[in-house]
Structure 1
Amino acid sequence: MGSPRAIIHVDMDAFYAAVEVLDHPQWRGLPLVVGELGPRSVVSTASYEARRYGVRSAMPTLTAQRLCPQALFVPVRMARYREVSAEVFAVFGEVTPEIEGLSLDEAFLDVSRSLRLFGGGIEAIGRRLKQEIVRRTGLNASVGMAHNKLLAKLASELSKPDGFLRIRPEQVHAVLDPLPVGRLWTVGKVAESNLHRLGIRTVGELRFAEPRRLQQACGNQAAHWQRLARGEDDRPVQPDAGEKSISAETTFVTDLTTLDQALSWLARLAERVGERVRAQQLKGRTITLKVRKPPFETHTRQLSLGEPTDATRELLDAGRTLLQRWWAAEKDPRLRLLGIGISQFAAEAQSGLFAPSPGQDRLADRINQRFGQGSLVRGVVLKSRRGGSENS
């Protein structure tokens, strides 16, 4: 049997409401409901201040108004939420390509193959996710960590808001046993009532229940529920293959105004992406350049390679071509953000006679893993350490 998986569940705290407060700071601390008042309208999200009055998602807004008359009701701005969600998922893509998005504000990440790359284990990656999300978006995320999806999601739920919790294998029963049985995945209200009639109110009581009696009362689901009660869950993280990518990007405090500066930063980002691709044992065919010029005008450019690659040199060469083309086409080129990514991953192909050797890249990876990121870099990268400020 292989090593336990390393699964992270990230759930943004009161996401829609938090975005509204971010854009309207004067609303901070108020009971805020995202959803317009009307006979057919429902609550999309409520701030934690509104939740204290019993306001919940999917509740009719008129009911929410009765519970909290002083609440501020604001319309849903889905385009804005998608924009912020894209920033959050970009952070996910920088630690692993194994991302299963559940909604705009929630995802599972399998970071099993990223542990050595980032060092410090699953908690180091979880901490990085929280820090990067708040740095780039100003929003808090709750992060749950465990060896399977069931426990990772439970960890984020138990630690909300602004949560950070890991459930280790030896802690499973201590955490699960006291919980109400309804907290288990797939145990809905009807199932919970059936279990209550059997005298089973906690997860621990479900775990120790006599299997035959449980099956007679609850049918085929009984064995499944008892596996969950033991903390067992073998569901894999299922990424959308069409969206799988590895990328890195940087937002600058001071806009870049020269191509030389931009190329230097591009080399730094390409090294970071190349190292992650090799750590995941992947090879990609499509290179994407992302640029943003002030104030918030974002462009992407793509280039497809003849063969999949994990070589930093090929990644950087393609990125340079795209950046130079964009720069030459602009009347007044200035960069607020620069990013590069690789996607369209394929099975590892046999190297051609003139394909770049991965030996130097892998040696650099080992040196940087041992002595810290940036210990060994390309000469052009050194220019990015002068006069530039990195936000991400």
Structure 2
Amino acid sequence: MKQLVMHIDMDAFYASIEQRDHEEYRGKPVIVGGLSGRGVVCTASYEARKFGVHSAMSMAEAKRRCPQGIFLSCNHAYYESVSREIFQVFHEFAPVVEPLSLDEAFLDVSGMEMLVQDWRVYAEKLKKRIVDELGLVASVGLAPNKFLAKLASDMEKPDGLTIIEEQDIERVLNDLPITSLWGVGKKTAQQLYDLGFVKVGQIAKADGAFLAKHIGNLAYQLVNLANGRDERSVEGTPKSQSIGNEVTFAHDLTTHEQITEKFLALAEKVGSRLRREGFAARTISIKIRLASFQTLTRSLTLVEATNFDEDLYQIAVELYEKCKVAEKIRLLGITASNLTIHEQPILFAENNKKKELYHAVDAIRTRFGNHMITKAKLLKNRD
């Protein structure tokens, strides 16, 4: 099976979060980092980069270059919470996700060709999910390996999407500077310059043994990369076992009735999947994203596990009402976790009847589709 890798890099991550959350920062140079005398820049918005400000620069130098900038300290805990939400989206688009940092990851999409007819459309769909749900922009690269995928994601920043196919590799790499190769820092670059190597295409044609005499065994890696070869696999972290569903609405929800109806639809989907996969859940969580992009989460852990739709719905509504939300809502979600691989305990005759009812409902949906049977409350809003 041929490897196919997607690299995703959130554009100016910390600064973009601050601009998203503070309308007055938008379109202005925002610099996030340590504000002390010896602090360094963590992230600079693209507006700040026009003044030559970049990450790892001293904050003093950033202030000299861009005195009109908006200088903010890092809110690491908050940025981490946003990162977790982004990675939830990544896990929905690929079976294996390798985090590189809070704002960057490799996704292994090898073997998904039967599910994906157009990779550009698929990548655009992922980018749109991140924009719609989190109000943030990502650049994506898709290529036959990790090196090329990361290279591709850098080519059209910000908000870029670049696909490198097998037949494009030589053309794409030939004229790039040797510093584009992983492992080529200032010292190695100078050694290569001294040998007459300036472009990646020159390294591709070089003899590895000759280079190794001058720069060591790194030479063989560089020759491979220069020819577009990278055998490293995407090393994923297992996704925590949970079953959930969430939806971003085309129009923000404003009424209690709208919100409870959406929770009912979500509960149906989560409950149906729990039963189909043979699970019951002890912990039920909800996610609420407000129009301002603030995200609220609440959860409840039960004594006995459940996979009944009505239990999920009632818990979700109770958790929502405790939040006392006064703002419009753009996203709702229900997640079932702390899963048990057994059926719900049948302690009472009433529960036996519920079990039989859900079994019949699930059988109808499996045979005829989810649309064939649903709660009457949800029918009036269907087209």
**Given that residues 12 and 140 in structure 1 are in contact (C-alpha distance below 8 angstroms), is that contact kept between their aligned partners in structure 2?**
yes
Distance 2:4 2:316 in 1: 40
Check whether the contact 1:248–1:339 (CA below 8 A) recurs between aligned residues.
Answer: yes
Name the structure 2 match of 1:298. Answer: 297
- 152, 155, 164: which is aligned to 1:167? 164
Greater mean deviation of Cα atoms: 206-215 or 121-130: 121-130
Partner of 2:266: 265
Q: How does 1:1-392 map to 2 (within 5 A)?
A: 2=1, 4-117=2-115, 119-241=116-238, 243=240, 247-252=244-249, 253-254=252-253, 257=256, 262-268=263-269, 289-292=284-287, 297-301=296-300, 317=307, 320-327=310-317, 337-341=331-335, 377=371, 379-380=373-374, 384=378, 386-387=380-381
Distance in 1 (alpha carbons) for counterparts of 2:337 and 2:4: 23
| AA in 2 matched with 1:64 | A
Highest relative contact order (Cα 8 Å, sep 6+), 1 or 2? Answer: 1
From the superposition, tell whether residues 330 and 191 of structure 1 become closer, same or farther in structure 2 (CA, over 3 Å).
closer
How many aligned positions are there?
A: 354
Question: More displaced, 322-331 or 37-46?
Answer: 322-331
**Structure 1 match to 2:345:** none
Q: CA deviation at 1:5?
A: 2.2
Three-state SS of the structure 1 residue aligned to 2:253 is: strand
Does the CA-based 8 Å contact 2:48-2:69 persist in structure 1? yes
Could you tell me how far 1:301 is from its partner in structure 2? 4.6
Counterpart CA distance in 2 for 1:58 and 1:360 is 58
Q: Deviations over 1:124-183 (max 9, x none)?
A: 321111101111121111011112111111110111111011000110111011111111
Aligned twin of 1:311: none
Kindly state the Cα deviation for residue 243 of structure 1 after the two structures are TM-superposed.
Answer: 4.0
Aligned CA distance change for structure 1 residues 327 and 167 (closer, same or farther; 3 Å): same
Query: Counterparts of 1:112 and 1:189 in 2: how far apart (Å)?
Result: 34
1:190 shift after superposition: 1.6
Compute the displacement of 1:300 (Å): 3.1
TM-score, normalised with respect to structure 1: 0.76
Query: Shift of residue 247 of structure 1?
Result: 4.4
Is the contact between residue 93 and residue 245 of structure 1 (CA under 8 Å) also seen in structure 2?
Answer: no
Q: Runs of 5+ in structure 1 lacking a partner?
A: 307-313, 349-355, 368-374
Deviation at 1:79, TM superposition (A): 2.7
Question: How far apart are the structure 2 equivalents of 1:112 and 1:383?
Answer: 42
Tell me which amino acid in the other structure corresponds to 1:200. F
The answer to whether the 8 A contact 1:285-1:305 is kept is no
Distance in 2 (alpha carbons) for counterparts of 1:40 and 1:284: 53
State, as a whole percentage, how many aligned pairs show the same letter. Answer: 36
**Structure 1 counterpart SS, 2:120:** helix
How far apart are residue 262 of structure 1 and its match?
2.5
Q: Identify if the C-alpha distance between structure 1 residues 121 and 338 changes in structure 2 by more than 3 Å, giving closer, same or farther.
A: same
Which amino acid in 2 is paired with 1:5? Q
